[in-house]
Amino acid sequence: MKPVKAASTARKPAIKTSKTALPAKAGKQAPGPEPKPYHHGNLRESLLEAADTVLAREGALGITLREVAKEAGVSHAAPYHHFASLDDMLAAVAERGFLRLREAMAERAQAVDTGERLLQIAEIYVSSARANPAQFRLMFGPLLARKTEFPPLKVAAESAFGLVHAAARAHDAKNGSELALVCWSFAHGLSNLLIDGAFDGLPMELPAANVLTRQLAQRVLMGVVVA
């Protein structure tokens, strides 16, 4: 009698399956990466903040839409969603500059004495210009002469002067308009001279810029002509 062979208990090796995903079917593409958000969803504000940064670094002549887009971390085409041209964006930057200047003057110039109020306006005007010289140059650059092309810029610029005008009229109701022009011209001219370093090396000892501003502004209000 032939011996019965024992049944084999050895298992057949398992067929290895590839972990590599199967290629997508024709006509279907794998989903791409999620688009980068535009800084909390406010692209325009992000671009203007980036423009402030580029402006401070490069100056008005060195700023471009491409550089602003790069600073904001968005595509080169993104600025055109809100600005038709570089001038359009720069006008918006200048507008914000005038709004900030007016806000700063309104916040600081609250003295009951009208003369002191004008002195404070001169001080904040000059200090703001010195703190942000590139923005100051842009605000009062060629775009200001074209402000009718950019209504928001026109409104902001006139609003800033309106505050100076109102303070001057409160100080001198009869000659307030002329006084406003004198005060504005003084503060603006002094700002430019300080930014340009025009006083450096003069054969006289000058006080700190904020002290000098107040001293000269007092002379203006007193109507004293220094020979």
Residue 29 pLDDT grade (very low, low, confident, very high; cuts 50, 70, 90): low
Tell me the fold of 95-222: Tetracycline Repressor; domain 2 (1.10.357)
C-alpha to C-alpha distance for 148 and 155, rounded to whole angstroms: 9
pTM greater than the 0.75 cutoff = yes
Q: What is the pLDDT of residues 88-141, one digit of tens each?
A: 999 999 999 999 999 999 998 888 999 999 999 999 999 999 999 999 999 999
Average pLDDT, the chain: 85
Q: What is the pLDDT of residues 188-212, one digit of tens each?
A: 999 999 999 999 999 999 999 999 9
C-alpha to C-alpha distance for 105 and 122, rounded to whole angstroms: 9
Closest CA to 80 of 47, 52, 36, 35: 47
pLDDT for 129 equals 97
10 has pLDDT over 50: no
C-alpha to C-alpha distance for 126 and 118, rounded to whole angstroms: 12
55 has pLDDT over 60: yes
State which CATH number among 1.10.10, 3.30.70, 3.40.1000, 1.10.390 fits the domain covering 43-81.
Answer: 1.10.10
Taking residues 144-171, report their average pLDDT. Answer: 97
Residue 30 pLDDT grade (very low, low, confident, very high; cuts 50, 70, 90): low
11 has pLDDT over 60: no
Task: Choose between 22 and 154: higher pLDDT.
Answer: 154
Answer yes or no: same fold for 43-81 and 95-222. Answer: no
162 has pLDDT over 70: yes
In b/e form, how buried is each residue of 150-188, taking b as 16+ CB within 10 angstroms? beebbebbeebeebbbebbbebbeeebeebbeebbebbb
pLDDT for 23 equals 47
Taking residues 49-78, report their average pLDDT. Answer: 93
Residue whose pair of structure tokens reads 């002379």 in the numeric block? 219
- Domain layout of the chain by residue ranges: 43-81, 95-222
221 has pLDDT over 50: yes
Where is 117: in which H helix or E strand?
A: helix 114-131
pLDDT for 61 equals 87
